[in-house]
Amino acid sequence: MTESWANQHLSGEPISGADLHLELHGLAPGPGPRAGLRAGLMDALREAVRTGRLVPGTRLPSSRSLAADLGIARNTVADAYAELVAEGWLTAQRGSGTRVAARAEPRRPAPAPPRTRTTRRRPTYSLLPGSPDLAGFPRAQWLAAARRALMTAPYEAFELGEARGRVELRTALADYLARARGVYADPGRIVICSGAVHGLMLLGTVLRARGVRALAVESYGLDMHRNLLVRAGLRTPALPVDGHGARTGELADDPEVGAVLMTPAHQFPTGMALHPDRRAAAVDWARATDGLILEDDYDGEFRFDRQPVGALQGLDPERVVYLGTASKSLAPGLRLAWMVLPDELVGEVTAAKGAVDWVSSTLDQLTLAEFIASGAYDRHVRSMRLRYRRRRDQLVSALAERAPDVRVTGIAAGLHAVVELPPGTERPVVEAAAWQGLAVEGMTRFRHPSAGPSPAGSGGTAAPGASDALVVGYATPPDSAWAGALDALCRVLP
């Protein structure tokens, strides 16, 4: 006889304890059926402990619960537990139940270290760009919003829901984006997605199906964005970047380009805002060619020198797709982002999203909707803006004192700065940082394969940091590690 999962019984008796999977292979020899069952149960428990399925400290079901699950007498289970306690397999204490005893694990020889003269240290500090200070996540306020959202959620909210996302979140976002970012955002135009990369993947699929062959990207940016667009079947020519942002006047040079991906509020990673003339040129190009602008507003709320630059989408909502995300303002682990689409794209993007059945958690959507509607989101953004501005000021001050030969640019907004280096020193500095336990990225890491090392714009305005430079994410370390990360950075700079 083989017993599989001991499921909760349906006899009407109180259900207690945890499920426990045991393999009882036949009846062990004994003077009677009870002795045979007890020995079989003991063997099954020993085997579960030996193989590691029951780890030390695991609490076992009560004798009453396990007996009911297995269909045997409670005394049989109690006797088996008692004998295994005596043998040292289990422990039993009043108030804490019966648990698997802490047994000595066999020692395994540690792997020999590689035979090298020196071993590179694992990163102790991280100044990698792209991540907020996760220690600043507003746990208490988020929990309060989650409780309110859960208590007021309609029953149908626990179904799969529609592909566009919960109407509560789309409505809250429409109000917030119009007020804070200057976006024309009707709830019917908004589609919720699982991160900005997911949104970009959907847009790439839709554009390719529409016959678009090439989607221009800025000459400095994230390679994962370029790669997923290439996987969608699109060519990704580089649009040069200089001190005024992307050179949008050159979009017309490639007749196959039907769309462009840009970061106009805060170019990533050089840190420049797109010049007003170039914003207008981009919209003029889109209107003249029936093209589309994909606006990645990844950290638009965090402007330090003045009010945040308004979204490009406000200039022409039918020619611009606005991409926003909670990854920088709250945390990337939430996997919540949104697209504000031209009317003609809503149905196509929604259909593409439904085809891959990739829907963000309903409860997370409802929580974010409540978080925004209650004003907690605005308060959190203002608080983090002050925190990041202090970090930026501390970075600039420390570099001015300890590395006066380097120049810091791209500091008007965002969560990172560009530290310009003497020619030929970027790679040695990045390697020296790694040896010192500091993770940091060089500007070269973000350069488009076809882009030159130091593009020049109108009037010879070079992109800040477009040659040798570090892209320093000053938001990444928690407060406890910030001073150490800053000190490690200053030590490796020339």
pLDDT in tens, 86-111: 888 999 888 778 999 986 454 454 55
In a domain, 118, yes or no: no
User: Does the pLDDT value for residue 174 go beyond 60?
Assistant: yes
Do 332 and 430 belong together in one domain? no
Percent of the chain with pLDDT strictly greater than 90: 67
Region 366-378: mean pLDDT is 97
In a domain, 114, yes or no: no
In a domain, 320, yes or no: yes
The b-or-e profile of 243-282 (16+ CB within 10 A means b, else e) is bbbbbbbbbeeeeebbbbbbbbbbbbbbbbbbbeebbebb
Report the predicted TM-score, pTM, of the whole model to 2 decimal places. Answer: 0.80
In a domain, 113, yes or no: no
Do 399 and 283 belong together in one domain? no
Region 264-271: mean pLDDT is 94
- DSSP reduced 3-state for 302: coil
User: Does the pLDDT value for residue 379 go beyond 70?
Assistant: yes
User: Does the pLDDT value for residue 305 go beyond 70?
Assistant: yes
Choose the weakest-confidence range: 108-117, 251-260, 263-272. 108-117
List, in sequence order, every residue forming a beta bridge with 147; answer none if it has no partner.
none
Q: How many residues are given for the chain?
A: 494
In a domain, 115, yes or no: no
Identify whether the C-beta of residue 218 lies closer than 8 Å to the C-beta of residue 209: no
Do 50 and 149 belong together in one domain? no
In a domain, 486, yes or no: yes
- DSSP reduced 3-state for 246: strand
pLDDT confidence of residue 390: 96
Domain that holds residue 213: 138-376
- Displacement of CA 409 from its chain's centroid (Å): 26
CATH number at residue 463: 3.90.1150.10
Choose the weakest-confidence range: 28-32, 235-239, 267-271, 294-298. 28-32
Choose the weakest-confidence range: 7-16, 32-41, 106-115, 406-415. 7-16
Do 309 and 213 belong together in one domain? yes
Q: How confident is the model at residue 3 (pLDDT cuts 50, 70, 90)?
A: very low
Q: How confident is the model at residue 1 (pLDDT cuts 50, 70, 90)?
A: very low
Identify whether the C-beta of residue 302 lies closer than 8 Å to the C-beta of residue 267: no
Token pair for 374: 């209650």
Identify whether the C-beta of residue 412 lies closer than 8 Å to the C-beta of residue 273: yes
User: Does the pLDDT value for residue 422 go beyond 90?
Assistant: yes
pLDDT single digits (tens) 426-465? 999 999 999 989 999 999 999 999 886 644 333 345 555 5
Identify whether the C-beta of residue 309 lies closer than 8 Å to the C-beta of residue 303: yes
Q: What is the mean pLDDT of the chain?
A: 87
CATH number at residue 329: 3.40.640.10
pLDDT confidence of residue 17: 57
In the numeric block, the tokens 């942002």 are attached to: 245
**H helix runs in 220-300, sequence order:** 223-231, 276-289
64: nearest Cα among 99, 1, 14: 14
Do 359 and 235 belong together in one domain? yes
**Domain termination residue (choose one: 328, 357, 376):** 376
Pairing of strands 125-126, 438-439: parallel
Q: How confident is the model at residue 51 (pLDDT cuts 50, 70, 90)?
A: confident
Do 11 and 64 belong together in one domain? yes
Q: Is 480 exposed, middle or buried (0-12, 13-18, 19+ CB in 10 A)?
A: exposed
| CA dist list (Å): 101 to 24, 39, 49, 62, 282 | 21, 19, 9, 16, 69
CA separation for the pair 55, 53 (Å, rounded): 6
H or E segment at 419? Answer: strand 416-420
3-state helix, strand, coil in the chain (%, to 5): 45, 15, 40
Non-local (6+) Cβ contacts of 51 within 8 A are: none
User: Does the pLDDT value for residue 249 go beyond 60?
Assistant: yes
**Domain termination residue (choose one: 345, 376, 407):** 376
In the numeric block, the tokens 């996997």 are attached to: 335
H or E segment at 173? Answer: helix 167-181
Q: How confident is the model at residue 346 (pLDDT cuts 50, 70, 90)?
A: very high
pLDDT confidence of residue 222: 94
Do 101 and 173 belong together in one domain? no
Do 310 and 352 belong together in one domain? yes
pLDDT confidence of residue 297: 95
Of residues 393 and 26, the one with the higher pLDDT is 393
| CA dist list (Å): 13 to 67, 71, 266 | 13, 13, 63
CA separation for the pair 289, 376 (Å, rounded): 42
pLDDT confidence of residue 325: 96
**Domain termination residue (choose one: 341, 376, 411):** 376
Total domains, the chain: 3
Region 329-350: mean pLDDT is 96
Percent of the chain with pLDDT strictly greater than 70: 86
In a domain, 116, yes or no: no
pLDDT confidence of residue 12: 37
| CA dist list (Å): 414 to 138, 166, 482 | 19, 29, 17
Amino acid at 493: L
User: Does the pLDDT value for residue 71 go beyond 80?
Assistant: yes
pLDDT confidence of residue 466: 53
